[in-house]
Amino acid sequence: MRRRFFVENFESSSATIRGETAEHLGRVLRAGRGQLYELSDGRRVWLARIERIELPKRGESRIDFALIEPIEARDPRLRITLLLAVVKFDRFEWCLEKATELGAAEIIPLAAARSDKPLLAAAGKRRERWQKILLESAQQSRRLHPPVLRMTPADGQNSAASALPIKPQAAFAESSADYKIILSERPDARSLRDLLPQHPSGASPSEHAISAALAIGPEGGWTDDELAAACSSGFLEASLGENILRTETAVLSALAILGFALG
């Protein structure tokens, strides 16, 4: 199966990859002239052939492609927004990678009340790294485009370093998804399976687009105020079972269940 890479745009019959991606493709993967790859600009996918490789010791690397033929590609019918409380960065970044592979369309880091304050303060400086993780994971999983990473500017600034996680209450209120789920440890939370539609065996799923919002809290769980804000915004509390799961386990499980039930 051919690898897929993202480009900024397609020209009439060509495209170019620059910088770190070109370095990786040329030096690590040892791509050669005439080899075929898939390229996506986030809207379309083309089969493309390498025409020229430039890997200078100084200056920007670039690989030029000739476009051969379009490849059919479209966004999945299920659009999932993952509202994920910030946890320790190694585990949070693992969640970003796996959420991308499982099809999340948008990821919103949350500044939950029980998230570690030093992590929240440092999160803005990780934004570029997080976007790179999403990009590379989307390429690896052959998606049409990476998920959107949504954060909020600090103090009205627009620089990447000033971006901060969003308060859960604001993210809940902004959601307009068809299905709104917040994972909860409370004993009265219903099973996630029971909150999702059940399709009879062999039934054809609807072709119209479906949206879902999935909120997953920090290791200390949601506060009562956060759960109340979610419920007032139409979120339903859901349980993944009796066992208490780590954040990354909950991300994997819940996204897989949503994809199976709604996708």
Asked if the 4-71 domain carries CATH number 2.40.240.20, the reply is yes
Instruction: Place 221 in a pLDDT band, splitting at 50, 70 and 90.
Output: very high
Beta carbons of 110 and 165 less than 8 angstroms apart: yes
Q: DSSP secondary-structure letter at 81?
A: E
The whole-number pLDDT of residue 203 equals 44
Beta carbons of 238 and 184 less than 8 angstroms apart: yes
Superfamily of domain 78-262: SPOUT methyltransferase, trefoil knot domain (3.40.1280.10)
Q: DSSP secondary-structure letter at 155?
A: G
The whole-number pLDDT of residue 159 equals 54
User: What is this structure's pTM?
Assistant: 0.89
Whether 182 has a pLDDT exceeding 90, the answer reads: yes
Give domain limits for the chain. 4-71, 78-262
pLDDT 10s digits, 113-160: 999 999 999 998 999 999 999 999 999 999 999 999 999 876 555 555
> In angstroms, rounded to a whole number, what is the distance separating the alpha carbons of residues 87 and 217?
9
String of DSSP letters for 32-46: -TT-EEEEE-SS-EE
pLDDT 10s digits, 10-60: 998 999 999 999 998 999 999 999 999 999 999 999 999 999 999 998 889
The whole-number pLDDT of residue 201 equals 43
pLDDT 10s digits, 53-109: 999 988 899 999 999 999 999 889 999 999 999 999 999 999 999 999 999 999 999
Residue partners of 42: CB distance under 8 A and separation at least 6: 6, 144, 145
pLDDT 10s digits, 184-216: 989 889 999 899 886 544 444 556 789 999 999
